[in-house]
Structure 1
Amino acid sequence: MRPQKVLDIEILKGLTKVFRSKGYEGASLKELSEATGLKKASLYHRFPNGKQEMADAVLNHLDEWVSNNVFQSLLDDDIEPQIRLKKGLEKIRTLYNDGKETCIFRALSMQTGVELFEEQIKNGMNEWLSTFREIGTAFQLNHKEAEQKALQVLIEIQGSLIVTKGLGDISIFENALKNIEQNYINQ
């Protein structure tokens, strides 16, 4: 068997970049092929079910990254909540390249994508809510307060990414992360 010329992680990075910037409908096979460094035939060999399987792979890859980095940092009971929160927010900065990257949930929830990936997006958002609810309880919030704060975090992150992109000002995303930190620490 010949060794693969393009590593799987590089393929996923290329696919992620295209789906984040173009969405599901807007991502052409030509762009996906170019971004991965694979010819269309090789891309279909790796993803026989086409573009939907590629987007599924991207969602799974990012879900794993978020779980292993963001959520693991936020849920580490061996570290005090303030440090966990700082680490988690730093991983969120990395995930969104300091606010320069679009959230994959947003990118795949447009047009046809919302029907295809609705369950994955809903599950992913529920994981974010659950994790921030847990950090809220670590900050001694009651269940209702932790729930409300978790929802506000999700809204702030998603909203700031959209406004950052729309205005071309990454300080909006950075300020949102600072506000999230302050809202937990100064509650």
Structure 2
Amino acid sequence: MRPQKVSENDLMESLSKTFRAFGYEGASLKELSDETGLKKASLYHRFPNGKQEMAESVLLYLDQWVENHVFSALTDEKNDSVTRLKTGLEQISLLYKGGENMCIFKALSMDAGLQLFENNLKESMQQWINSFTNIGLSFHLSPEKAEQLAIQNLIDIQGSLVLSKILNDKTIFENVLKNIEQRYIK
């Protein structure tokens, strides 16, 4: 029987879902296989270096998605600041499915995952800070204030994702996005 065909997008979404649910250490090859619908041999054929390569691929996939949807919206100087901010926040809501999805940073920043992906995670986090700092500057905030708000935005987004998941209340995440908007648009 021929192996099941899975699109690259579906594969990355399935792997991402598994890593978000179990973390790097907890995501077994069986769980990764079950979620993707691919046999273990097919996963190893696609990812010869195993689980680490799968996680690296997920990080790259999500980094590209965020770059194309969130960062590009926040930094698109063709649009006014309000439009850029609102579009960026809408894309963040899509990325995390309105607070349903945990952040991949959390899932991959525990123990072995942090050792393996520390540089990737630091670089990604810095891109988030830079993009939010950029939007702050477009609202004529001082560089210091813009960076301070950028960091606070990330703390609030990450914290609200955890709370939304634990309390099973997506409005926590949704309210944080509204609060971020109100920080800039007064």
TM-score by structure 1 length? 0.96
Structure 2 residue ranges without an equivalent (≥5): none
**In the alignment, structure 1 residue 168 sits paired with structure 2 residue 171:** no
Q: Distance in 2 between matches of 1:102 and 1:37?
A: 22
| Match in the other structure for 1:31 | 31
Question: Aligned-pair distance for 1:35?
Answer: 1.2
| Match in the other structure for 1:120 | 120
On the 8 A contact 2:22/2:107 being kept in 1, the answer is yes
Letter in 2 for 1:115: Q
On the 8 A contact 2:82/2:185 being kept in 1, the answer is yes
**In the alignment, structure 1 residue 56 sits paired with structure 2 residue 56:** yes
Letter in 1 for 2:88: G
SS state of the match for residue 79, structure 2? Answer: coil
Q: Encode CA deviations 1:82-107: one digit per residue, 9 max, x unaligned.
A: 11100000000000000000000001
Q: Encode CA deviations 1:46-84: one digit per residue, 9 max, x unaligned.
A: 000000000000000000000000011111101110111
Q: What is the number of residues matched between the two proteins?
A: 185
| Match in the other structure for 1:181 | 181
On the 8 A contact 2:75/2:135 being kept in 1, the answer is yes
Q: Distance in 1 between matches of 2:24 and 2:3?
A: 30
Q: Encode CA deviations 1:10-31: one digit per residue, 9 max, x unaligned.
A: 1111101100111001101001
On the 8 A contact 2:4/2:37 being kept in 1, the answer is no
Superposition map of 1:100-115 within 5 A: 100-115=100-115
Q: Distance in 2 between matches of 1:144 and 1:13?
A: 36
Letter in 2 for 1:145: K
Letter in 1 for 2:44: Y
Percent sequence identity over matched residues? 58
Structure 1 moving runs of 4+ over 4 Å: none
| Match in the other structure for 1:76 | 76
